[in-house]
Chains A and B, each alone.
Chain A
Amino acid sequence: MTDRKIDEATGVPTMGHEWDGIEELDNPMPRWWLWTFYATIVFAVGYCIAYPAIPLLERATAGTLGWSSHRQLAEEMAKGQAAHASTLAALAKVDIATLDPKSPLMQAAVEGGRAAFKINCAACHGAGAAGTRGYPNLNDDDWLWGGSRAEIHETLMHGIRQPGNDATRMSQMPAFGRDGILKPEEIQAVVSFVRAASHQETVGGSARRGAALYAANCAMCHGTDAKGGRAFGAPNLTDAIWLYGGDREALTATVTNARYGVMPAWNKTLDAATLNMLTAYVHSLGGGE
């Protein structure tokens, strides 16, 4: 520190530096400020004793209060579950198929189902349930196994093509090309028929030839009018919705090799309340019947 001058006007020493002729006075701090500073130090010491603070080799000191962020999370989770316990108990017992859609319990089921869907179902059906090729869009009004709440619940419970589950949804489509049931040109005729039935092509000679082949090979499951059969999970072939694509190439591949969907039987892993909530949510997406 350079030699300190005393400011003439105030009698206060200066800090000994100046900028553009302005000098800083060295006024003392107010004492309450000092005590406030001490108080923060005392607080910090107390905090370090009460809470985890000092890092050691493995983990930080535990703190006398025993607080940790993991424990706080666990407590808050438990609190949240306790808060929802009565609603979940009611949802486990309710018959979701006949529950009044405007009741508060249904609103709760839809919201709970929204969360459960993202955890369990979004991997295949997408976060917004829009599906993708091979995984049905649950927003639309086309259902392989039925879109009523009872039917959705049944599908969720037992899944699709689950071995060892007698009640599972089982679809069986022959691989018409691979197994040699139809010849390639016969398959093309069937494809023409299907594309004409779904108004993607005008009816020509190929489609007319395909009609007879369809009646002999496909109508048993997909129906004589090609509108599908929910007992077999056979899709409606006349509508605008295609699970594996409605173009000629995709249809040829489908008829040649057949397609099978699978879905887990969720009654093994999810509880009754969650199954009901998922049913309510899927039904609420806009295509429920």
Chain B
Amino acid sequence: MGLQIIKPDTRLDFIGYRRWAFAFSALLILVGLASLFVKGGPRYGIDFAGGIIIQAKVQADHDLNIREVQDAVKSVKLPGLVVQEILDEKNEYLIRTSASDVDTEVVKEELVNAISTAFNGAGVDVRRTEMVGPKVSDDLRSKALEAMFYAVLLIAIYISGRFEQRWMAAAVMAAGLFAGITALQFLGMSMSVLIIGALAITLGLCWYLKLNYALGAVAALVHDVMITVGVFSLLDKEFDLTIIAALLTIIGYSLNDTIIVFDRIRENVKGRSGDKLKSIINLSVNQTLSRTILTSGTTLLVVFALFAFGGSAIHDFALAMLVGIGIGTYSSIFVASPILLGFGPSVPTDGEAPSKAVKA
């Protein structure tokens, strides 16, 4: 047999650490929320905020200082004008303005002229321009939220149906969610309220219908997304469409791990119906530990390659994936499984007779 990172007889008491894990998760989430609160919400990229971005390479013979470039474009009076350096690109900058009601061509010309004048007539190569009008950015924002909402909904329904073979309960949950969301929409709530509402309803229904696997999985994915968003806020990164794509992928991927653990729990519950749930969960997490670490590890390897060598355009996307997959692995071990225990699943719980459990 080849190498082994995790010894087969490893018996770590993950459930025993759950209070620490919950405290740790709560801390991460709170720090993220605090950062969002202090900064007045997420920093939206041009997709969601609207405006104009111009990516320009200055053909100067020496290395420029970003300060100089900032000073150079100051003369162009545009609202919210920001200059950003592009990582690992010499003399290449992203210049952004929040104005979208002006002509892109005019903005481009003025900026190029200003930079050229400031650096003794240096040539400026505009490599990319992007303009997103206010209507389109509004649309993209609500579409992104909608996408997150449907992802949570479909995944919750899938897991409750697939895992507990309770498609009826899953259908009830879908109907309940639909009714709740329609009611919220009827009250004219904004999309972000709808999302929070949908999550609350999902978690509430999972709990009420005793769809515990779904409850654990959904709680874990909400956990992962919140922490990734928090980290992005802390690092002052912008949210745009590709980050939403990353978040959705994280949701899908983090469940990947969770499902492997849950699958094992289910298998072990059938095989060892006499055992206490706590030890079954612990055993299952330990048995799947090497897979969980290895699968995430290989994915993290390639995402890291993407992060380090993929270029500036994909950098933030890769960062979101790195954070999300890392947190997702942690949450499938320390968050999803303990929740399964905490809410009394449809298997023999501590001290209960097995016969009673079969019906549940």
A binds B: no
The chain A residues found within 8 Å of chain B, CB to CB, are none
